Structure 1
Amino acid sequence: MAPSYYNTRSTRDHFVEPPSLLSRVLAGLPSGLSAQIQQLWDGNSYTATSTSSPRIPRGLRHWSERWHLKRLLNLPHLLVLVWLVVLLWGERWVFQSAIKTCEWGRWERWPKDATPHHLVFLADPQLIDPHTYPGRPWPLDKFTMLHTDNYLKRSYISLQKKLHPDTIFFLGDLFDGGREWKTAHGNTDEPQWANGLRPAGEQAYVKSWNRKYGDDFWLGEYDRFGSIFDKLWNIAGPNAGPWQRGRKLISSLPGNHDLGFGANIQVPIRNRFETYFGEGNRVDVIGNHTFVSVDSVSLSAGSSPHSTKEITEPVEQFLSKVQVLKRKAVAHELSLQAGEERVLRLPHKVEELDRVNFTNLPNLDPGEGTADLPTVLLTHVPLYREKGTPCGPKREHWPPAKPPKGQNTPVFPDERNAISISGGYQYQNVLSEEDSVRLVSTIGNVQRVFSGDDHDYCEIVHAENKNTAREITVKSMSWAMGVRKPGFLMLSMWNPIDASGQSLHSSPSGHGAVSQASPTTESHLCLLPDQLSIFIRYLTLLILTLLALTIRAILTPILHLSHFADPLMETDFSLLPTTKQDTRRREEDDGNRSSNSSTSSTSSNNAQNLAPRSSAARTRSVSPAKGYGLPSSQVRFATPPLPSYGNGNGNGSWAIIDADDYYKDKSNGYASANTRAKKLPPLTVIWREFSRSIWRVAWVTVLVYLYLVYYG
């Protein structure tokens, strides 16, 4: 009769494995040697789960059970997943989503065969530096600087990848404290008449700024600006759009935070800025439009009662010849479109110096009456307008006042919705009326004006003395400049022209008899994410996380929920004895195991594994081997003894299972399975659950957050 490997009294609880190959091998060895081999085998990291499955390393089995799906599906891990999604959204996806809504094709209204030039205006990035928040303590100032830079970088990367503009113009204020940092050469001290004009909040830091921050610091800020904007310029590729001749990034227009304002400008500081960024006064032909950039902060020094000739001379010289520069730039563009570059060629001949006529030298100016493309004026400081001129519904600070019943025109004056006509130390909200009219009339044919400085959006149409030009003041793209939703302005230009520069883009009039020029530009305000709102959502999720984990920890001992704090327990069959009596008993048991192993090949009751026991069997205080007449060396658990919680110990008290002392036999002081149950107060259980759950959520979330912050 075949031996029975199942105990009839408890086939559900135990399973006895037939003699293994190891038992048959040990049976043929001397008893001492076989005992040592059996002891090593019993103390190693292997166990068996069934007669048909191979032996699995206990460490691997422990890991697989610890990370079993049921153990992973719990509240702390669910919160970790929620945090990962929210962080990816707040640090990456929200920028991509915001800019995706601004794609060119969503708002352009050109004909299907049009090939417009795509241009983006970026205003007032104003990189945060010690000048921005002089009293802000460390590390809050570093946190603000890091997040502001990351905000600019993420917005700029998404802008390049989603929009890929052909040209980008910066409208000044690249730095926040660029005017404050001393140069390596030249005197940058304030003049005597400027003493006492600086705000008291800044005056206390002037000496420390002069001591700590100089030309090296400014160069570091220049490199910081380049690492955000210049380095990532071609992140989506260097190729321009269809029928566009290359891509341009122009950041030479200065702001009052870069140089100062009016008579307060220090010439060495301006020279340094122009050395690295280029001339602030320039003419560019882009997309068949003429862009004229004017250093308006230097121009404003002309109204000062103090001597400012050195400050205003470059811009005055530029305005005196701006018409010639415009004509030459347009002629050069037309020659390139015709396939021949227009260059100056002089005859090669030798003449006496006193006989040379310098009055009629050849030049590239085609002369008056030649083609003139639509002109766009770029200035950091907005042009003058009457006090209370409303900025329109896209202004964030204050929406337009509601007009009275029956009035269809905007309320005028609307002080809250308008740019304040005021000024102060190193700033002036708008140019003077005289400078504004002079700029528009001197440049000529100004149809659009784009400015910065105000940080918020403002769109107005100027009076006739400023050619009824439409001006848009562009929002700051930094979230630290007083606007909840920063942004930038997109400009789409399509102006097809013939060989002489005349526009071919026209539309029929209302009567269909006469054609009139169509608009050659379309603009769109693209809003960036609300960074403060993102922080508020982080804070809200943090509060909800703490609340959820607190409630779960409180309910754990009340509802007998499974513990998150305790690791999966496993039985250790080879613990070292702690007393002499335990040592002797351990040696006796090892000897019995060796003896039993040597005869296991002839016994039908030998076993290597036991199937998982029932919950009743798991709470017994005696070894299963004693209960079923089996040698202890031949009893193996297919799964480790599981902790018994709640009422498992019979009296309803809460128990934390220690793997070292489970199933301890109190009669002889020796544990066959070496484990016991420890009773803990409910408050201790709550604290363990709460603290360890918080720790699990916190360290994963913080590591992911730091990774996203470090890599911008």
Structure 2
Amino acid sequence: MKQHHKVTLVLCAIWMATVFYGEMLAFWMPSLWSCSWPHLLNPSINGGDTSSGYAKIAVITDVQLMDSTSLRLPPKSLGLEFAQFYTDLYMRRAFFESVLPFKPDVVLFLGDFFDGGPFMSDEEWQESLQRFKHIFGLNVEERHRNIQVRSIPGNHDVGYASIMSHKREVVRRYEKEFGTRNYGFTVGKVEFVAVDAQTLDGQPRGNLSYNSWELVKIVSEDVQVLPRVLLTHIPLYRPDHTLCGPHRNSPIINQRISYSAYTQEVVYQNYLSEESSKRLLELIKPVLVLSGHDHDQCTVTHSSKFGTAKEHTVGTFSWQQGNLYPSFMLLSASNTLNTSTSFPEEAVLTQLCFLPMQTHIYIWYLCLLALTLIAGLFWPSSGIDFGHPLSGLMSFVRLYGGMFGGGTKEKVDEDCEYEMMWDAEGTMHLVKKSRNMPPPSPNDRASVERGNAVMRPTAKRISSQDLEAAENTDSNGSGEFDPLIKLGHRTSKSRTKMIIQRLVRAFLMVSVIAAVNVPIYMMLLFKDWVDK
């Protein structure tokens, strides 16, 4: 088997392993290796009963389906369709291959299903809604028959208070599909309070803000029996430059809030105001706060007069939202009422899980493609002999060892000449050939016997004759070509032939590798995209 055939087989195997990992195995890692339900990590909790002691909740946020407002590309353009497809495909794979294998009882979305939700027409919004249902399998009713789906709105779904106050149709179409924006529900023995955070800092007299705070008031008036978890898309206030813990990958974002000059409603905010945050903590008294909006992971602890509450800001689920390390969270909610107040945090346990780094996978694809092209163009046909440098080193040692060791010099054969030869690879070799010497004539022998006095004029005369012959040849333009010119033509033809051969070889190598791996890639792609 030729060397380049062996290289093709090796590269083909590497490509197959890469495609299988990047398109399938990487999404199995969270459930098989890197993540687990938090109550299983500490079986001593709840007396070791891990089978029925906790309800299992998967938390996802900031999906932000790309649309015409995302990349400023025209609707239905090829670039936008391409970006949408691969972004949607990643999240569909992540949900079905990374999240669902954990068999959650509840899937909780913390807002921002869409990117330009408040600014899309009804037709565009419905199209994005169908994409969302396809990604998470919500278009097939029996698929999630045993899984509850809960959600809260984000600013990319309904906008901030300034938009909702004059575009009520945006709120209506959201509530028609996803339900009310402020509500409470119970999972196991844990109470969850979901609020529309975009309205909390709005005008107190407005209906939107009033409805949100009314729910908070009702919850606060109830006798708290179960531990509570506050769900808000916008994180609670924290001082500038507050550290976010070890899982933060991007710079910390400080508070920024702006109001409309006409309605005094919120136009944009990174966090809730300090006043609203303090009020929420004191009225709801949560043991845990879950939020999104920031696209990156952040863990902080808030203090109030009723104690402390830890807040987890979950990172984006998409690889196109500025975070190279997308993530989701597994939350275990206790199914038993714990009367002990010593460790209330044991009622709700959390575990952050990271998804495959899609950007790094694509970078590796490009690097492997470059390696394939380099191997096809520059890999020598005879292979790489790793023993050749060693033999050269030994020859070097023998040569200089003989020089310093007093050895005899090798006799140089003067009665020989060297001819330059090129092989198929364009490599030059010096071939030693015997010089054809004419038999000495009596005159030459006599000249030698007479000594140098006769040899010098003879040599001079011969040199002059040769020089005159060369000049006559140049002036007449006749005679044979200069050997250097012939050598140049020969070298040029050899190099051209070598370049063509290597280009053809590289093309054939890439064709064979593509013929094997492209069908595998397409099979894995459509396996995950088509509804089963």
TM-score if structure 1 supplies the norm length? 0.53
Match of 1:301 among 202, 208, 228: 202
> 1:113 maps to which residue?
49
Q: CA–CA distance in 1 between the matches of 2:118 and 2:198?
A: 12
> 1:471 maps to which residue?
311
CA 1:234–1:311 in 2, change beyond 3 Å: closer, same or farther?
A: closer
> 1:315 maps to which residue?
212
Measure how far apart 1:234 and its partner are. Answer: 8.7
Which aligned pairs between 1:115-154 and structure 2 lie closer than 5 A? 115-135=53-73, 139-154=78-93
> 1:43 maps to which residue?
none
Q: CA–CA distance in 1 between the matches of 2:249 and 2:498?
A: 53
CA 1:466–1:706 in 2, change beyond 3 Å: closer, same or farther?
A: farther
Measure how far apart 1:382 and its partner are. Answer: 0.7
- The Cα offsets for residues 351-383 of structure 1, whole Å up to 9 and x where unpaired, read as xxxxxxxxxxxxxxxxxx5x6211111000011
> 1:420 maps to which residue?
254
Which aligned pairs between 1:554-565 and structure 2 lie closer than 5 A? 555-556=380-381
Matched, 1:220 2:124: no
In the alignment, residue 381 of structure 1 is paired with which amino acid? I
> 2:237 maps to which residue?
384
Match of 2:301 among 445, 455, 461: 461
Q: CA–CA distance in 2 between the matches of 1:426 and 1:708?
A: 43
SS in 2 for 1:421: coil
Q: CA–CA distance in 2 between the matches of 1:235 and 1:704?
A: 30
SS in 2 for 1:519: helix
Give aligned pairs, total.
Answer: 407
Matched, 1:519 2:359: no
> 2:36 maps to which residue?
103
RMSD, matched Cα = 3.2
Identity %: 31
SS in 2 for 1:690: helix
CA 1:382–1:684 in 2, change beyond 3 Å: closer, same or farther?
A: closer
Measure how far apart 1:215 and its partner are. Answer: 0.9
Match of 1:706 among 511, 522, 530: 522
Residues 287 and 494, structure 1, Cα contact 8 Å, conserved in 2: yes
Measure how far apart 1:489 and its partner are. Answer: 1.3
CA 1:518–1:683 in 2, change beyond 3 Å: closer, same or farther?
A: closer
> 1:692 maps to which residue?
508
Which aligned pairs between 1:33-72 and structure 2 lie closer than 5 A? none
Q: CA–CA distance in 2 between the matches of 1:169 and 1:452?
A: 12
CA 1:88–1:491 in 2, change beyond 3 Å: closer, same or farther?
A: same
Q: CA–CA distance in 2 between the matches of 1:446 and 1:283?
A: 13
In the alignment, residue 243 of structure 2 is paired with which amino acid? P
CA 1:140–1:522 in 2, change beyond 3 Å: closer, same or farther?
A: same
Residues 301 and 312, structure 1, Cα contact 8 Å, conserved in 2: yes
Residues 296 and 323, structure 2, Cα contact 8 Å, conserved in 1: yes
Measure how far apart 1:448 and its partner are. Answer: 1.0
SS in 1 for 2:48: coil
> 2:178 maps to which residue?
277
Measure how far apart 1:516 and its partner are. Answer: 6.5
SS in 1 for 2:323: coil
Measure how far apart 1:391 and its partner are. Answer: 1.3
In the alignment, residue 321 of structure 1 is paired with which amino acid? I
> 1:441 maps to which residue?
282
Task: Report which stretch shifted further, 685-694 or 171-180.
Answer: 685-694
Unaligned runs of 5+ in 2: 259-265, 384-420, 425-493
Q: CA–CA distance in 2 between the matches of 1:653 and 1:254?
A: 72
Residues 477 and 486, structure 1, Cα contact 8 Å, conserved in 2: yes
Measure how far apart 1:699 and its partner are. Answer: 4.1
Higher helix content, 1 or 2: 2
In the alignment, residue 92 of structure 2 is paired with which amino acid? K
Residues 157 and 235, structure 1, Cα contact 8 Å, conserved in 2: no
Measure how far apart 1:323 and its partner are. Answer: 4.3
Matched, 1:529 2:370: no
Which aligned pairs between 1:192-591 and structure 2 lie closer than 5 A? 214-231=121-138, 247-251=147-151, 253-265=152-164, 266-302=167-203, 309-323=206-220, 327=222, 369=223, 372-398=225-251, 417=252, 419-423=253-257, 426-442=267-283, 444-465=284-305, 467-497=307-337, 503-504=338-339, 506=340, 519-552=346-379, 555-556=380-381
Residues 118 and 167, structure 1, Cα contact 8 Å, conserved in 2: yes
Q: CA–CA distance in 2 between the matches of 1:260 and 1:451?
A: 16
Measure how far apart 1:269 and its partner are. Answer: 0.2
Measure how far apart 1:458 and its partner are. Answer: 1.1
In the alignment, residue 218 of structure 1 is paired with which amino acid? W
Measure how far apart 1:276 and its partner are. Answer: 0.2
CA 1:476–1:653 in 2, change beyond 3 Å: closer, same or farther?
A: closer
Measure how far apart 1:388 and its partner are. Answer: 2.2
In the alignment, residue 172 of structure 1 is paired with which amino acid? G
CA 1:120–1:280 in 2, change beyond 3 Å: closer, same or farther?
A: same
Runs of 4+ in 1 over 4 A off after TM superposition: 69-73, 135-138, 232-238, 515-518, 651-654
